[in-house]
Amino acid sequence: MNFWFFTRLVSVTVAALLIVAAWQSFPLVSGILLGRFAEPRTVAPRGDLAASEESAIAIFENARDSVVFITTEKRMVDPWTRSVYDVPSGSGSGFVWDGFGHAVTNNHVIAGASRAIVRLADGRGFPARLVGRAPEHDLAVLHIGIGAGRPAPISVGTIKDLRVGQNVFAIGNPFGLDWTMTTGIVSALNRELPGDGDLPIRGLIQTDAAINPGNSGGPLLDSAGRLLGVNTAIFSPSGGSAGIGFAVPVDTVNRVVPQLIARGRYAPPRLGIRFDPQVDAALARNGTPGVLVLAIDPEGVHLAPPPAHDIHCENTGNIGSNKKNAGLTGIFGKATIQAFRVIAFAIRSISPTDLKIA
């Protein structure tokens, strides 16, 4: 009885093993038998690209060579040997500004760095020299000695006619993934973020184009391939893209960068007057708008006062309510880069105690 049971058990086990072996070898056997009939599948025709695809491709190909990859190093001192050495400290993006080797990036990309290397799309790398920076706008200008084969600068646009909903394209090096393009729309205009010091960065463009660490300093382009802004910041609890990115508007860039190149620093336009916020508050309580001028900047050149309609101020409300929201934009029809010192003398012919600006 035991012998019979043992024989049956062995037979069943062997049969099971044979079945399992056959099942596992079936794909191999069938592949060998049918291999002579296996061929690559036919590629289906794609057809023409959509017009939006053609446009996006053209924007990237036209701007790619003008975008640069910036890596920075920080100088360290060994506490034991006192030897000095450089260690990698970060990376970011930038873009060629003109035909003289100037490149624009964010100030925070190069802040604290002892050395910066700018790499072009063709693989060439150059040590960069800091020309100037404007922390209040998070902008900086570098100079690189490219020589021959200098990339063309990106065409400059404007935000004066920019509207929410327009398509935008961001090119940069997120997380070190060089020359990456993302797309989106203008989500909002005139956003404000805390800046360097006590003044905020104003007039920012908000976009849902994916912007991540490493995109900072790269260009934000419109559908014509023109520069709209410099990608600067993201709002994200996780540190990655959450669809809320911000760019310094091109009009600000086009005002600040020429000063950085010419003078190495940015001198923001000032009204050239001094006033007391407490006095202004008292005036406001009495229904008197504006500010009471206590003193006038003595520097500048003597000019006859212009007509009132030739002095233009850009503000988001009464100057007396928030002096940080006031900025001189023009006088005598000239841009503030030439005229910001003149305003004090335009005011001189009026008694300081009588002057109100609103």
* Cα 183 from Cα 160, distance rounded (Å): 21
Among the listed residues 108, 137, 143, 321, the single catalytic one is: 108
The kind and range of the H/E element at 58 are helix 51-63
Residue 264 CA: distances (Å) to CA of 2, 146, 256 = 101, 20, 10
Expressed in percent and rounded to 5, the helix, strand and coil fractions of the chain are 30, 30, 40
What is the side-by-side strand order in the sheet with 311-315? Answer: 311-315, 326-331, 334-335
On whether the CB atoms of residues 73 and 113 are closer than 8 A, the answer is yes
Among the listed residues 66, 93, 216, 241, the single catalytic one is: 216
* Cα 107 from Cα 90, distance rounded (Å): 13
Q: Is 216 a catalytic residue?
A: yes
- HSE-CB at 289 with a 13 A cutoff on CA atoms is 6
On whether the CB atoms of residues 248 and 229 are closer than 8 A, the answer is yes
Provide the residue type at 261 as one letter.
I
Query: Environment class of residue 121 by beta-carbon count within 10 Å: exposed (0-12), middle (13-18) or buried (19+)?
Result: middle
Provide the residue type at 123 as one letter.
G
Conformation bin of residue 336: beta by default, left when phi > 0, alpha when psi is -120 to 50: alpha
Among the listed residues 138, 208, 222, 280, the single catalytic one is: 138
Q: State the virtual CA torsion across 252, 258, 261, 264 in degrees, nearest 10.
A: -60
Q: Is 251 a catalytic residue?
A: no
Q: Is 114 a catalytic residue?
A: no
Conformation bin of residue 177: beta by default, left when phi > 0, alpha when psi is -120 to 50: beta
For 30, list phi and psi in degrees, rounded to 5. Answer: -65, -35
Provide the residue type at 102 as one letter.
H
Q: In 3D, which of 101, 138, 173 has the Cα closest to residue 253?
A: 138
On whether the CB atoms of residues 199 and 175 are closer than 8 A, the answer is no
Query: Would you please indicate which residues are annotated as catalytic (active-site) residues?
Result: 108, 138, 216
